[in-house]
Amino acid sequence: MKISFDDDPAVSGTWDFSPSDSHWETVFDQGTAEHGSSGAPLFSNHKIVGQIHGTDDPAFEGDNYCEVRHIWSGKFSMSWNNSSNASERLRDWLDPNNTGTLTLDGTGDNLLQVHIDGPYQIQTNQYYQFEAITDGGYQPYSWQWQLDYGNGSGPWQNVGGDSYTHISYNQQDFYLRVQVTDAQNDTKTSTIHPVTVSPGGAASQDTSLNEEEK
């Protein structure tokens, strides 16, 4: 087996002579870690959170070294910035422009993705539909729409489920975002969708829509 699985959450701890809480402790339910596995990535929710450093599994020293399941992995967060020397931390190599980005999605074929399909400019007293275009991950999906009347930094109000229909009675701009959750409980939040509101005509009489925000 090329990939090993632990069905339980990794436990924060200290391995060997390492700093306190610098490692993730895992015990594989499927698969093993064999000689030469050091440096292999530890994944959680499709992101690398650590790299294998070693084991204190008795099987490692015996004849059953191919049955090693108890593994200690150094935390990626420690490797990121836990040194004053640029040559001994990942931050300078993976974020050389100092953007402050701390997480980054991969580019796998089944990566969960969502974006908002809808207008950026609307008029008051008219209904407008916004859709969450979702791909990847594992169906079925569920969605949570959120709205912010401020500057797009929150606080966010929960306003809808599968799709979102909006009517503005006041000329007040707003921001939308939507979070999708797939069948494996992975989540992805869309980029923020700004909406500008301008004066419109009389209120629409369409009553077939299932969500509205006043």
Condensed to tens digits (0 to 9), the pLDDT of residues 130-159 reads 999 998 888 899 999 999 998 888 889 998
Asked if residue 99 is part of any domain, the answer here is: no
Helices (H), the chain: 76-81, 91-94
CA distances from 116 to 2, 73, 82, 88 (A): 37, 38, 38, 40
Of 94, 126, 154, the last residue of a domain is 94
Partnered with residue 95 across adjacent β-strands are none
DSSP, collapsed to helix, strand or coil, labels residue 81 as helix
136 near 155, Cβ under 8 Å? no
Whether 84 and 123 map to the same domain: the answer is no
Q: What is the pLDDT along the chain (214 residues), one digit of tens a residue?
A: 478 888 888 999 998 888 899 999 888 888 887 777 888 898 887 789 999 888 877 666 665 556 777 888 999 999 998 888 888 899 999 898 888 888 877 666 678 889 999 999 999 999 999 999 998 888 899 999 999 998 888 889 998 777 788 888 888 999 999 999 999 888 999 999 999 999 886 654 443 333 333 3
| Entry pTM | 0.50
Asked if residue 101 is part of any domain, the answer here is: no
Domain span holding position 65: 11-94
Long-range contacts of 33-39 (CB under 8 A, 24+ apart): 33/4, 33/68, 33/69, 33/71, 34/65, 34/66, 34/68, 35/65, 37/71
Asked if residue 171 is part of any domain, the answer here is: yes
Q: What are 73-103's pLDDT values in tens digits?
A: 999 999 998 888 888 899 999 898 888 888 8
Whether 35 and 80 map to the same domain: the answer is yes
Whether 125 and 193 map to the same domain: the answer is yes
Which tokens is 157 given?
């109000």
Whether 124 and 63 map to the same domain: the answer is no
